[in-house]
Amino acid sequence: MMVFGEMERRSTELRIIDGIEKVEHVPFPTGDQFWVRFNRPLDLKKLQGVVKSNGCKLIKFGGLPSKLPRKLSEVLWSGVTHVIVKKTGGFGKFTSMLGFEPEGIAKIVTDLHGPYQIFIANNEDGVHVLYDYLELKYVPPAPPPPKAAPPPKPPAPAAKPSVSTSPPPSAPQAPAVPAKPATVTTPPSTLDKKTAPQ
C-alpha cells in the first residue's frame, strides 16, 4: 500500500531528475499507482541488475500482442513490456508471453502514442526498485500513527440484590368471603310417596 503524502513528496523529488518527463499519482479502485514517464529509453540491463539485487525478477510481457498491427494492438494490449515480480514459475513466464499479465510490484509500459516509457509502481517495493535504478536514496514511508485507544467503558453499575424468578404480584384482590354451606332442597315430586301426606 502506498501513502498519499509520501507520493506527493516523491513526485517533487523526482520531477527534477534528468530524463524524467512526468511524475503522477494515479488512483485506481484496486489501489494507487505511482507513474514515472521517462523521455529516453530505460537501460534494461541496469534495471535487470537492480531487480535481481532486490530479490525480484524482470519478466518480458506481451510479446505476442506487441507484434500485432498498431490499431489492433492498441485494443488488445496496454503497452506493458516488462513486469517486475517477487516470485514466478515457468507457467507464469509462459502465460506472460501470451498476454496474461502476472501480479507484480511494478511494470514497464511503452506509451502507444509516443516515444516514452513509463515505470509504474504498484506498491512500495516497486518504488524502492525505481529509486535504486535512479541511484537515489530510498526512504521508506513513516509508519502510520498509532491508533487512538478506544474510550474506556463506563463502570458497571453496582450489583443488585438477586431477584426471585416468581412472577410479579398481580393487582391487590378483595379478601375472600367465606362460602355458606350449601343446602340441598329436594323437590316435592321426588319425595317418597310413603312420606308424603295423604
CA 61 to chain centre: 27
Find residue 109's DSSP bridge partners.
80, 118
- Count the Cβ atoms, other than its own, within 10 Å of residue 179: 6
pLDDT value at residue 49: 93
- Residue 171's pLDDT is 60
Per DSSP (E only), the strands in 69-197 are 80-85, 106-110, 117-121
Is residue 82 a contact partner of residue 61, using CB atoms and an 8 Å limit? yes
CA-nearest of 26, 43, 56, 40 to 129 is: 56
Q: At what angle do helices 44-53 and 124-133 cross, to 10 degrees?
A: 130
State CA 158 to chain mean position distance: 42
Which DSSP symbol is given to 14? H
Residue carrying C-alpha cell 511494478: 106
Centroid of chain to Cα 183: 88
How far is it, in rounded angstroms, from Cα 140 to Cα 129?
Answer: 12
Question: Over its length of 198 residues, how does the chain's per-residue pLDDT go in tens digits?
Answer: 455 557 778 888 888 888 888 888 888 777 788 889 998 889 989 999 999 999 998 888 766 655 666 566 555 566 788 888 887 666 555 555 555 566 788 988 887 777 788 998 988 888 999 999 999 888 877 776 777 777 777 777 766 666 556 666 666 666 665 656 656 566 665 555 555 555
